[in-house]
Amino acid sequence: MIKENHIALTSGVGVATNIVRDKSPHTIKVEVEVKNLEEVREAAEGGADIIMLDNMDIPMMREAV
């Protein structure tokens, strides 16, 4: 799982997701914890298999999905 502290070591969710995706076997599921809609987009574009919506209110969750 890619969490906030992992993302902080890179230049964003997309970069962190790409790094993990590139260095992991294809059988490993990449899960990313996101806090806003921009991070949702970056995680999806980066190839995340699972996107965990962290502390989002219901309207934001609906938009993310």
pLDDT in tens, 13-60: 999 999 999 999 989 999 999 999 999 999 999 999 999 999 999 999
pLDDT computed for residue 27 by the predictor: 94
- Full-model pTM: 0.87
- Do 32 and 50 touch, CB atoms closer than 8 A? yes
CA 58 to chain CA centroid, nearest Å:
19
Report the pLDDT value the prediction gives residue 23, as an integer from 0 to 100. 93
Sorted by where each begins, the domain ranges of the chain are 4-64
What confidence score (pLDDT) does residue 34 get? 97
The topology (CATH level 3) of 4-64 is: TIM Barrel (3.20.20)
Contact present, 64 and 53 (Cβ < 8 Å): yes
Quote the pLDDT of residue 57: 96
CA distance readout (Å), 58 to 2, 4, 20, 22, 53: 23, 21, 29, 33, 10
Alpha helices in 1-65 (DSSP H): 4-8, 13-23, 37-45, 58-64
